[in-house]
Structure 1
Amino acid sequence: MTTEEIIRFVGALDGVLALSPVPGDGSPEISWGDTFFYYAPDGVVPKGQPFATIVTKDYPGDERSRLDRPGVFRVNIAAGKDAFRAWTGHAPRDPGAEADPGAADTVLAHPVYGTAGWLAVVNPGPRTGEAVRDLLRTAYDLARSRAERR
């Protein structure tokens, strides 16, 4: 999967706002080139975190995925506790086996936000493409349900 394929897939879901910051739009420079997905049927960025992101570089304190390698990106997904447990074998706040957060095409606990139930995949490929689509749908459904309860 490419970043463009992920953006098209998630962007096609009803009510999704996909933000891809660029120079000059008022966003912080560190976010340029990344993409943030929100459930926002009114087109207004809601309070709180996005339900998924694509990051193309290391952020301060989040360098273990080694996104500074050429052509490397990571999709981050807030797919919820059930999906997290299904993929990692443990609850988000419980310690699990340490995996290489830079391993490509592997569903892993997010190296920073895993304790909040986030999953991550570096360069999704043949092994994880369908799983990433399913997890993105799950994260979207959870975000939509939260928004509809408000």
Structure 2
Amino acid sequence: MSQTKWIEIETVHRFITQKLEGVVPKDAWGETSYFYNPGRVFDRGTYFATIKQKDGENDQASNLDRHGVWRLNIGVSKGAYFELFGPPSPRPGKGRIVEGDWDFKALDELTPHPVYGWMSWLSVLNPSNETWEKCRVLLSDAHKRAHGNFAKRLAKLERSN
């Protein structure tokens, strides 16, 4: 029986910061957040992905406090989200998770983000090589979405000056 090969966090970090242009990583809230922010025009830029390694006060659905477990979160376009999961669930109440039959603790399974699925974010715990290939495409989609949102934000800033 073959053993699943998990992708390392550093592989994901390198892909996001070296293969996707204009990305600025920031460590905050117990995770590494990735912003599209070429030239560091904004304080934080446009948020499109995170790597989370521990549970947070309002986000414990994935049980990230297990040894070696981490979660990649990706803010994809509505079209990409819909293709994978159908329409997003309604926004959950404070301290709750999105509705659905998702196992947010399962390794190597793409799911809606347990808290932000309603905003077209998805997640995967400890992706395998096969799932990582899907994630690379999804990260590129999220990066493109962030690029568009950044351009709108920049245009608004330029109009106000």
Amino acid in the other structure paired with 1:65: S
Could you say what secondary structure the match of 1:66 adopts?
coil
Amino acid in the other structure paired with 2:67: P
Of all paired residues, the percent bearing the same amino acid is 36
Partner of 1:25: none
Partner of 1:114: 117
Partner of 1:99: 102
Residue-by-residue CA offset, 1:93-128 (whole Å, 9 max, x unaligned): 368641100111111000000011100001111331
Give matches, 1:4-23, under 5 Å. Answer: 4-12=10-18, 13-21=20-28
Partner of 2:80: 83
Displacement, 1:46? 4.4
With normalisation by structure 2, the TM-score equals 0.79
Return closer, same or farther for 1:47/1:96 CA change in 2, 3 Å cut-off.
same
Alignment gaps of 5+ in structure 1: 22-29
Amino acid in the other structure paired with 1:5: T
Amino acid in the other structure paired with 1:64: A
Displacement, 1:67? 0.3
Partner of 2:36: 39
Could you say what secondary structure the match of 1:128 adopts?
helix
Displacement, 1:48? 6.8
Partner Cα separation in structure 2 for residue 46 and residue 119 of structure 1:
25
8 Å contact kept, 1:17–1:45 = no
Partner Cα separation in structure 1 for residue 16 and residue 130 of structure 2:
19
Partner Cα separation in structure 2 for residue 102 and residue 49 of structure 1:
28
Higher helix share: 2
Aligned residues: 139
Partner Cα separation in structure 2 for residue 48 and residue 148 of structure 1:
10
Residue-by-residue CA offset, 1:119-144 (whole Å, 9 max, x unaligned): 00011113311111111110001101
Displacement, 1:56? 0.2
With normalisation by structure 1, the TM-score equals 0.84
Residue-by-residue CA offset, 1:27-70 (whole Å, 9 max, x unaligned): xxx42xx2110001012554576100000000112111010000
Partner Cα separation in structure 2 for residue 10 and residue 4 of structure 1:
10
Residue-by-residue CA offset, 1:7-32 (whole Å, 9 max, x unaligned): 100001111101235xxxxxxxx42x
1:69 aligns with 2:66: yes
Amino acid in the other structure paired with 1:57: K
Alignment gaps of 5+ in structure 2: 1-6, 91-97, 156-161
Query: Which protein has the larger Cα radius of gyration, Structure 1 or Structure 2?
Result: 2
